[in-house]
Structure 1
Amino acid sequence: MKLYNNLETAQPWPPANVETTLDKPLAVAYLDNPPPVVNITLGRQLFVDDFLIESSTLTREFHQPKLLPQPVFEPQTPLEMNDGFCTCACPFNDGLFYDDHDNKFKMWYHAGWFDGIGYAESDDGIHWKRLHEIYPDRQDERVLPAVKGRLRDGSALWLDYAASDPDERYKMMVFFRQFDQEIKYYHRKPKHAHDNPDSVAPDEKILLYKSPDGINWTEVGEAGKSGDNTTFFYNPFTKKWVFSLRTFSALDSRIRTRGYFETPEFFTGSNWKAQDIKFWSRTDIFDFPDPQLGYYTQIYNLDATPYESLMLGMFSVFMGPPNNICELTKMPKINDLKIAFSRDGFHWHRPVHSNFISSSREKGAFDYGYAHSPNGICLVVGDEIYFYVSFFSGQSPNFGSHKYSGGNLGLAKMRRDGFCSLSAKQQDGFVLTKALEYEGDYLFVNCDAAAGELSAELIDDNGNPWPGYERQSCIPVQVDATKMQIRWKAHNTIRQAPNLRIRFWLNNARLYAFWIADDENGRSRGYMAAGGPGFKDGRDI
């Protein structure tokens, strides 16, 4: 099958991966055998790998977002305060999206540890109103009623802009444990079998729900068997629903891995069997242990979202300590978030293994540990990307501290397209793209050339600039802007030519992305992850 960018997928699909080692980096086959001509019609083009590059003298740098010093959402209500035991008001995956039908930021979150699924919305993504504040007839923040003996764990939600049935516009899965007795608080539930071999395990299941508004939900059915921290996302490039399943290594059953299952139909196609799950991902030797903790790192979760022209992956990496140690210290385990990218939706390119967003490990801090990204991962807000991150401080009014208390929501921001840049400092440098297929007439860049300049030239099949599109004919860009049109002295539009290549010249400048648009508004046609203000159905169209 040929993908949107001209990649040919392996057959059969998804690939039948086989584990051969516990720590060798996993191969990304499409980078070793890219297509000779890349289709860039869809979305802004990022230089996170060499997929688009024929040659370059520039330096590639990866960047991290900056975390705000205070949380933007924290436990306040009786449900969230959990009677002073394990306070929690943050997505435990759950979801955070921008709905451009009513222009609201919408969040589903873990309200009171192992208790409810709460809902809140916002006009600006900073100040939030809870469900009972929006609808005074509601008794609390819950969108699902409490069921006797049923405790929620991980949940995942998606805003399906393309849903043909309006009643299925919001889709959700929830991992429940059903006990045979009423259990009000996490610390009073019976021990799991792995803690007490004589215990009777609860009934564990993943239930699926649909909703027209994200508030009123209807149970639809049950998914296949998997563990907690199982999530899902939609890949619009392949038009498949993908379940990211908690699995364990076939080489060492103590080590967490991620399993992959895809289906074109969310509700009718999600009753997978064990043999349907493909080995997908894990940590590797470059996911170094924390120098203070010293534990073998493991993958805790893998979420993904469509960003512009590729899939953005967020690896939640477990740094330790294990649960029994956290029980003794009464402090949360440490998870850090690391970034990855995919152009086929299955194989993940991890160009850097450093933390994208880190837990602070500072006792008393809101971001002490247990970092989670909500479903949707990020939103595009003006010239910035918003990364919401759930952290646990460990602070508990009744316990003093607890490994599952103090759940709150932080916000980290970075430049739009700011994952990676190509730069030349105080000297000329260039990057030459591969041959390109495209639609549109207007060339745009995201660049910082305020202290230098950036220019572009269009290259023919023989490696020569097209007349009128040479570097010396280009009007240099000398600004810092996330959207800037490239023009030439005699041309505002690009030349229409098959297998066109573009050479960007930089001097004391950074280039983050380029794209070709239909008009001078510069809309990229790309996907906006979990959405954002000013977009339509989650796309820049």
Structure 2
Amino acid sequence: MKKFFLVLGGLLTINIAFAQDKIGLDQFLGQTLHNGITLPLQWPPIYEIPTRREEMPVPYLEKKPEVISVNTGRQLFVDNFLISKTNLYTVFHTPHFYENNPVLEPSEEWENTIEGAPYAAPFSDGIWFDDKDCKFKMWYLAGAGSIHKDEKQTFYTCYAESLDGKYWKKVTQDVVPGTNIVDTCNRDAATVWLDREEKDPSKRWKFFNVELRNTDKRWQIVLKYSPDGIHWSKGVAQSGDVSDRTTVFYNPFIKKWVISMRYWTNISNRSRAYIEHSDPEMVVSLTHRIRSDAFDKNMRFWFIPDDKEVRHEKYPTVEPGIYNFDAIAYESIMLGYYSAWAGPDNTTCEKDGIQKRNVISLGYSRDGFHFSRPTHEPFMNVNETEGAWNWGNMQSICGVPIIVGDSLYFYSSGRRLNNIMWDSYTSTGLATLRRDGFASMRTGEKEGFLVTEKLTFDGKYLFVNADVKKGSLAIEVLDEQRNPIVGYTRKDCIVIKKKNSTRMLISWKGKDTLSALLGKNIHLKFYLTNGDLYSFWISPWKSGESRGFTSGGGPGLDAMGIDKPRECY
């Protein structure tokens, strides 16, 4: 009997039963990730382009691993992956915009275009904390009119830095003397990435620039390297033709560079395509526009705007799109930033003298390809009032969040209403969120509970991020059959009361570690009253570092981008 199988989106379907021989599932399975998720052998997965708007499937939520490893990072309740049973309810949180926004805005002559339109904000680009000199560093798109008036060049790349992430300086450099310009290529979107795993110091900073090719005025990605983020090499790799608003991110869980490329489908010309490779030069060289009548093993259709995208109340007939998608590792997950476009189109914007509406919403992934979007509401929203720095067209920025103590620093670009050029006047704003504060499990005065799925661990100390300043929290450890383990029962637990902290050590009578349970699979049962539970993790250190990824870094964090004991110096 003929053998026929289809691997689609990580789910294996065998369409014909085999009469004479059996095929073990193991041969169709690939890499097992830090959390117990096993990828399919066909990776990245191949999906047909949907014929209607629908959400991306998330296979690991439909069929979870039998045992979930919690050795890497804080474990966040952004989906139901960790949860076996609960009567708590989920609350999604948004950051608070800094009262003195914008933190960076156009102020220099060279930040204007030929027409005088001002620009001073990352178009993805990057904002990172550099542990080498303990500075926040920003790369951003700026106008090029005052420098190349005769060449009609539109945009350059500029640099700024800060000691606290709030007050930024445009530091003069020697690339274009007297300015803070660090790259003079005519550009669209760009990605500046601090590669903390890079062993060659001359390649520590990577610049994936979507540049305009002089010969035919088409966009292509050009990769450059730098030891300091200021002085960039000549291009070391170039892509084929790409669409505008194409960016790059690194997935450290599978150690792959990923191109997030704008892609045209019948559903929307603001869909996305995906390509990955372990070599940053190769991922660029293999990238190009996709033909609908040809297959390319390196390129993948990724996702479309779905049926839950938020529509513009003034333009309800406009079909929303995904203007851009950036991503970064945070703790045990990948954060995905959707620049969600709701219209109107450019012609209407120009006629009415307004900005298009792009807001930033979030998605969460545990494999780097499939992203769950539990809410489509804006994470960082526009402010359509006169004079607001972010009246419209907000765009995500690579490198964020930056971890500053108990807070996460998020940055975004925004555009003011102006009479110079409708789609201009970009500035950069800051918003702050509690560490791990994307979602919490909440209950009121009546006690609630949450039981995790089966967990495996190799740490010692159990920590939680919780707000019970008006309530209480206790944790019980259960065995594989969900029976309380002697010495780790609820009655043994030292109850946390009237406390609010992003890092609280859990202990039981006579025990402050889980060392006696090493090598065993367990469940955790949380008992919560009048509070919020944000995350938990099991650390090897009593100081509570999680071994998770720290995104854009932060003061006092490890230089390799992993949360482990170390001070900035």
> Scaled by the length of structure 2, what TM-score is found?
0.87
Give the drift of 1:20: 2.2
Q: Is residue 270 of structure 1 aligned with residue 284 of structure 2? A: yes
Give the drift of 1:331: 2.5
**In structure 2, which of residues 187, 190, 196 is the aligned counterpart of residue 161 of structure 1?**
196
Aligned equivalents of 1:362, 1:84: Cα separation in 2: 25
**In structure 2, which of residues 121, 124, 128 is the aligned counterpart of residue 93 of structure 1?**
124
Q: Is residue 107 of structure 1 aligned with residue 138 of structure 2? A: yes
**In structure 2, which of residues 198, 216, 221 is the aligned counterpart of residue 206 of structure 1?**
221
Which secondary structure does the structure 2 equivalent of 1:20 belong to? coil
Q: Is residue 143 of structure 1 aligned with residue 182 of structure 2? A: yes
**In structure 2, which of residues 202, 206, 216 is the aligned counterpart of residue 171 of structure 1?**
206
Give the drift of 1:323: 1.3
Partner of 2:76: 46
Q: Is residue 429 of structure 1 aligned with residue 468 of structure 2? A: no
Aligned equivalents of 1:102, 1:74: Cα separation in 2: 24
* Structure 2: gaps spanning 5 or more residues: 1-30, 145-153, 291-295, 565-569
Equivalent pair of 1:426/1:508 in contact (CA under 8 Å): yes
Aligned equivalents of 2:136, 2:489: Cα separation in 1: 45
1:513-524 counterparts in 2 under 5 A? 513-524=535-546
Partner of 1:237: 253
Aligned equivalents of 2:106, 2:525: Cα separation in 1: 52
Equivalent pair of 2:96/2:433 in contact (CA under 8 Å): yes
* Cα RMSD, aligned residues only: 1.7
Equivalent pair of 1:131/1:138 in contact (CA under 8 Å): no
Which secondary structure does the structure 1 equivalent of 2:347 belong to? helix
Partner of 1:193: none
Equivalent pair of 2:277/2:283 in contact (CA under 8 Å): yes
Q: Is residue 388 of structure 1 aligned with residue 418 of structure 2? A: no
Aligned equivalents of 2:447, 2:503: Cα separation in 1: 22
Q: Is residue 377 of structure 1 aligned with residue 400 of structure 2? A: yes
Give the drift of 1:284: 0.9
Partner of 1:301: 324
Partner of 1:186: none
CA separation of 1:513 and 1:287: change in aligned 2, threshold 3 A: same
Equivalent pair of 2:257/2:283 in contact (CA under 8 Å): no
Aligned equivalents of 1:71, 1:307: Cα separation in 2: 25
Give the drift of 1:92: 0.8
Partner amino acid, structure 1, of 2:159: Y
Q: Is residue 18 of structure 1 aligned with residue 34 of structure 2? A: no
Give the drift of 1:108: 0.3
Q: Deviations over 1:168-217 (max 9, x none)?
A: 1111111122457xxxxxxxxxxxxxxxxxxxx62432211000110110
Aligned equivalents of 1:173, 1:137: Cα separation in 2: 20
Aligned equivalents of 1:179, 1:217: Cα separation in 2: 20
Aligned equivalents of 2:240, 2:42: Cα separation in 1: 22
Partner of 1:334: 357
Partner amino acid, structure 2, of 1:72: V
**In structure 2, which of residues 279, 288, 306 is the aligned counterpart of residue 284 of structure 1?**
306
Aligned equivalents of 1:98, 1:326: Cα separation in 2: 36
Which secondary structure does the structure 2 equivalent of 1:513 belong to? strand
Q: Deviations over 1:333-374 (max 9, x none)?
A: 110111100001100101111111111222431111110111
Partner of 2:57: 27
Give the drift of 1:83: 6.6
Equivalent pair of 1:390/1:408 in contact (CA under 8 Å): yes
Aligned equivalents of 1:135, 1:247: Cα separation in 2: 38
Equivalent pair of 2:237/2:285 in contact (CA under 8 Å): no
CA separation of 1:166 and 1:425: change in aligned 2, threshold 3 A: same
Aligned equivalents of 1:136, 1:54: Cα separation in 2: 56
Give the drift of 1:137: 9.0
Q: Is residue 256 of structure 1 aligned with residue 295 of structure 2? A: no
Equivalent pair of 1:317/1:336 in contact (CA under 8 Å): yes
Partner amino acid, structure 2, of 1:139: G
Partner of 2:426: 407
Q: Is residue 223 of structure 1 aligned with residue 239 of structure 2? A: yes
Partner amino acid, structure 2, of 1:289: R
Greater RCO structure (CA 8 Å; 6+ sep): 1
Matched positions, count: 510
Partner of 1:483: 503
Equivalent pair of 1:333/1:403 in contact (CA under 8 Å): no
Which secondary structure does the structure 1 equivalent of 2:34 belong to? coil
Aligned equivalents of 1:13, 1:362: Cα separation in 2: 46
Equivalent pair of 2:339/2:359 in contact (CA under 8 Å): yes
Aligned equivalents of 2:220, 2:476: Cα separation in 1: 57
Give the drift of 1:235: 0.4
Partner of 1:499: 521
Aligned equivalents of 1:154, 1:345: Cα separation in 2: 21
Aligned equivalents of 2:175, 2:367: Cα separation in 1: 46
> Scaled by the length of structure 1, what TM-score is found?
0.91
Aligned equivalents of 2:474, 2:132: Cα separation in 1: 39
Partner amino acid, structure 2, of 1:434: E
Give the drift of 1:127: 1.0
CA separation of 1:351 and 1:203: change in aligned 2, threshold 3 A: closer
Partner of 1:320: 343
Give the drift of 1:268: 3.3
Partner amino acid, structure 2, of 1:123: L
State percent identity of aligned pairs.
38
Give the drift of 1:302: 0.8
Equivalent pair of 2:90/2:440 in contact (CA under 8 Å): yes
Partner of 1:459: 478
Deviates more, 1:263-272 or 1:27-36: 263-272
Aligned equivalents of 1:526, 1:247: Cα separation in 2: 32
Partner of 2:102: 71
Give the drift of 1:136: 11
Which secondary structure does the structure 2 equivalent of 1:143 belong to? strand
Partner amino acid, structure 1, of 2:208: M
Aligned equivalents of 1:106, 1:413: Cα separation in 2: 17
Q: Is residue 534 of structure 1 aligned with residue 520 of structure 2? A: no
Partner amino acid, structure 2, of 1:215: I
**In structure 2, which of residues 68, 85, 107 is the aligned counterpart of residue 55 of structure 1?**
85
Give the drift of 1:255: 2.7
Give the drift of 1:288: 2.8
